[in-house]
Amino acid sequence: MSSNKVSPQKKRPPRKTSASNSKRAQRKKINRYVRICGRILFILQVIISLIMLFTVGRTGMLPWKYMVLIFAVLALLAAVTFMLNLKRNRKVRLTGIGISTVVIIFVLVFTRYFNRTMGLISSGDNAQKTDNMVVVVRANDPAEVLMDAKEYKFAVHGASSGASGEMISDVESAISSKIKVEEYSSDVEAARALLEGKADAAIYNKAYTSIIAESLDDDEYEDRVRVLYQYGIQTSIEKETVNVGEPFNVLISGIDVYGDISQTSRSDVNIIVTVNPKTKKVLLTSTPRDYYVPIPEVSDGVRDKLTHAGIYGVDASMRTLEELYGIDITYFVRVNFDTLIKLVDAMDGLDVYVEYPFDAYTDEYHFDKGWHDMFGDQVLAFCRERYSYADGDNQRGRNQEQVLKALIEKLISPAILPHYAEILDSLDGFFQMNIPQEKIAELVNMQLTDNAHWDIMKQSAEQGESALETTYSAGSTPLYIMWPDDASVKVNTARIEMIMSEGYTTNTGSAETVETAQK
């Protein structure tokens, strides 16, 4: 008996539809884009990381241990993203793309702020002064432009040389004609001649305006004259430096104006900052603005108020204080009202202790005794106040030192990091110094290497006998002055020399202990 066996029929795979083919092609296309994107981002990550390392490394600001650490982290991240890009899994490759993107953004932001910081330091390293020479006429004078004053008689001090001589040459060049000049014994006398009708115009440094008003006892002087023409004369200030790690002195010079930081003006703040990088000690020495002292290379031995030295440039202030204390001041940092206001506001205020309650004469502020969270305008009012104190300018100097100490302590604390961008913006164009970029990099490198605590101490030159005396800048008009207290000056000099000495290692934060050590 035979039987017919039917062999089972094999199932055929389903035919691929056009929709599934399209999805597969789309997946391949996406995978290809992910692979290409991952490779491009990886290359960018490596290039940008190398640029950042080169940019930071060439400044010498970061210690080698930090540079090695940064290199190791960036190299590890580059290796991770490279390995992830080799995988065929799309999610793994996307993870690599995410890591590359984060690294690129972080490195770009870091490099941007680092370059802004170095750019700010470079822009501030501007060792030059600007004498803003002006031609002024009486407020009701019909002249509208310099050419209208072509036939005027010009009152001037020092017509034959210096900035006045250069200004006369510029005026004559501008009007293509010689001018009539009558020379007076001082800028004050030249301004007096203008007001009394003995001259039709006067030429002087704009920085003299406040001295003229004070000498003439005329609070409305600026309203009685009008600036017809202005010309800025720029002069370079000689630079010097000290060896790596050696102690040095810096003059903090605060001028009494807003706006252009390079313009010459009275220096109301004169604080010598003595820095010893080896012992990690800083001493702040404040000198009253009305100290009656000669201005070397300017006054030919004739005494003047210390604040007037700023009219002849920050280098004149440095020479004056060098001669007073018998020390060498290597660097300067120059600030004005705008600098302080903008910096303090960018730092989100300062905690300042007020020793004595007072009403500020410059602004409508009242301060009680105790700690205050102050913003820019309030800190400026606190730094300028002197009339409310029995100790007058001495107390103002101590207040300024207290603010400077608070600024330093906050600037070197981690609390400043959230405000870093605002601080960079606030300082741009509002400070001037002659500290080389290499010196700043050296100090930052040193601090990051040992992370040491710095002792910040304060002292001030005491007020001597006050009187009315003639000054070099104001001529024959007597002004209020303060004779230097010789004993106080000698003690301050001794303390500065002790801080400068490598052998001084007392671990204290008080100036009183410095005095004890000196004795």
Please give the pLDDT value at position 508.
Answer: 43
C-alpha 374/C-alpha 348 separation (Å) is 9
Q: What is the CA radius of gyration of the chain?
A: 33
Query: Higher pLDDT residue, 69 or 88?
Result: 69
Q: Spell out the residues 6+ positions from residue 462 whose beta carbon is closer than 8 angstroms to its own.
A: 394, 485, 487, 488
Q: Spell out the residues 6+ positions from residue 460 whose beta carbon is closer than 8 angstroms to its own.
A: 285, 286, 287, 288, 394, 397, 398, 401, 492
Instruction: Determine which of 57-71, 343-357, 422-436 has the lowest per-residue pLDDT on average.
Output: 422-436
DSSP state of 411: H
Q: Yes or no: say if 492 and 461 are a contact pair by the CB < 8 Å rule.
A: yes
C-alpha 380/C-alpha 340 separation (Å) is 7
Mean pLDDT of 323-350: 89
**Own/partner long-range contacts of 275-278 (Cβ < 8 Å, ≥24 apart):** 275/247, 275/248, 275/249, 275/250, 276/247, 276/499, 276/500, 276/502, 276/504, 277/245, 277/246, 277/247, 277/443, 277/446, 278/245, 278/247, 278/502
Confidence of residue 159 (pLDDT cuts 50, 70, 90): low
Dihedral angle at the C-alpha atoms of 106, 109, 115, 121, nearest 10 degrees?
Answer: -110
pLDDT in tens, 209-261: 989 998 888 889 999 999 999 998 888 877 777 776 789 999 999 887 777 77
Q: Identify the sign of the CA torsion 504, 505, 509, 514.
A: negative
379-407: string of b/e by CB count within 10 Å (b at 16+)? Answer: bbbbbbbbeebeebbbbbbbbbbbbbbbb
User: Considering the entire predicted model, what is its pTM?
Assistant: 0.76
Question: In this structure, which topology does domain 248-518 adopt according to CATH?
Answer: Aminopeptidase (3.40.630)
C-alpha 173/C-alpha 166 separation (Å) is 11
Question: In this structure, which topology does domain 128-236 adopt according to CATH?
Answer: D-Maltodextrin-Binding Protein; domain 2 (3.40.190)
Please give the pLDDT value at position 325.
Answer: 96
Instruction: Determine which of 103-107, 179-183, 402-406 has the lowest per-residue pLDDT on average.
Output: 402-406
Q: With H, G, I as helix, E, B as strand and everything else as coil, classify residue 143.
A: coil
pLDDT at 295 over 50: yes
Question: For the chain, which residues make up each domain, given as ranges?
Answer: 23-114, 128-236, 248-518
pLDDT in tens, 402-420: 888 888 788 777 777 677 7
Hey, which of 61-70, 86-95, 191-200 has the most confident mean pLDDT?
191-200
Please give the pLDDT value at position 108.
Answer: 92
**Own/partner long-range contacts of 107-111 (Cβ < 8 Å, ≥24 apart):** 107/45, 107/48, 107/49, 107/52, 107/74, 108/48, 110/52, 111/48, 111/51, 111/52, 111/55
In percent, the amount of the chain with pLDDT more than 70 equals: 90
Please give the pLDDT value at position 306.
Answer: 96
C-alpha 380/C-alpha 399 separation (Å) is 11
